[in-house]
Amino acid sequence: MRFSFRNLFKKARNDEKGTVTVEFIIMFPLLFTWMIGSLVYFDAFRERNNASKAASSVADIISRTDVQNVASVSQLALLQERLLPGIQGTKSLRVSSIQRVTEDSFIVLWSYSPTGSDALLAVDIPINILPLMTDNETVILTETAVPFVPLSGLAGIAAQTYINKIAIRPRYVSAIAWDSGS
C-alpha cells in the first residue's frame, strides 16, 4: 500500500466523524449571542411599555380630580414606583397645569415634582405635544423619567432613560386647582 495525498484527501472527505461537534462549536456562539440579544431587546421594549403605561395611569388619575396637593402627587409618585417594581434607579415625576392664554402664549398655573425635579417654566412648555386648545383652556402635563439598564451590553442597547410626557385635559372641571395648604 502506497502513501498518496489523493487517497488521504478522499478518506478525509468521506469521513463524517466529528461533524456534529464542529457544527456545534461554530453555531453555539452565534445562537447564544442571538438568544441573549433577543432577551435584551424584549426586556427593553417591555420596560418601555411599562413606563408608558405607568405614566398614562398617573395622568389619568390626575385628570379625574379637581384639586391636587403635595400629598396627592406624592402618593402618585409612590403609585408609579409600585407600577414599575423591577426597575432600579431613580424614577422622576413632575405634574404641571398649563393654560393657554392666547394663540401663541401659554402659562404654567402650577408645577410640582415630589421626586425633586425643577418646576416647569413657561419657556420649557412642550407646545408640540399639547392638544389643540382654546383660549383659557387648561391641560395637565404629566412627565415621567424612568431609567433602563440592559441585562447585557451584548445586544448594543446602552443604558438610557425612558421619558414620557402626557398632556391630558381635566375631565370634570375646567382647571385642576393646586392646594398649597396641605
DSSP code, position 120: P
pLDDT tens digits, one per residue of 87-142: 777 889 999 999 999 888 999 999 999 988 899 999 999 999 999 999 999 999 99
Residues 6+ apart with CB under 8 A from 58: 76, 79, 80, 93, 95, 142, 144
Q: CA 117: distance to chain centroid? A: 18
The grid coordinates of residue 134 equal 382654546
pLDDT of residue 116: 86
Using DSSP's 3-state secondary structure scheme, residue 162 falls into strand
Give the mean model confidence (pLDDT) for residues 16-35: 84
Q: Is the pLDDT of residue 55 over 90?
A: yes
Question: Rounded to whole angstroms, how far apart are CA atoms 43 and 32?
Answer: 17
Question: Rounded to whole angstroms, how far apart are CA atoms 172 and 170?
Answer: 6
Helices 19-63 and 70-83, packing angle to 10 deg: 160
Phi, psi of 24 (to 5 degrees): -65, -45
User: Considering the entire predicted model, what is its pTM?
Assistant: 0.79
Tell me how far apart the terminal alpha carbons of the chain are, to the nearest angstrom: 102
Query: Taking the CA of residue 101 as centre, how many other CA atoms within 13 Å lie in the half-sphere pointing to its CB?
Result: 7
Would you say 20 and 136 are in contact if contact means Cβ atoms under 8 Å apart?
Answer: no
Would you say 27 and 45 are in contact if contact means Cβ atoms under 8 Å apart?
Answer: no
Q: How many CB atoms lie within 10 A of CB 100?
A: 20
pLDDT of residue 13: 72
Report H helices in 64-154.
70-83
pLDDT tier for residue 145 given thresholds of 50, 70 and 90: very high
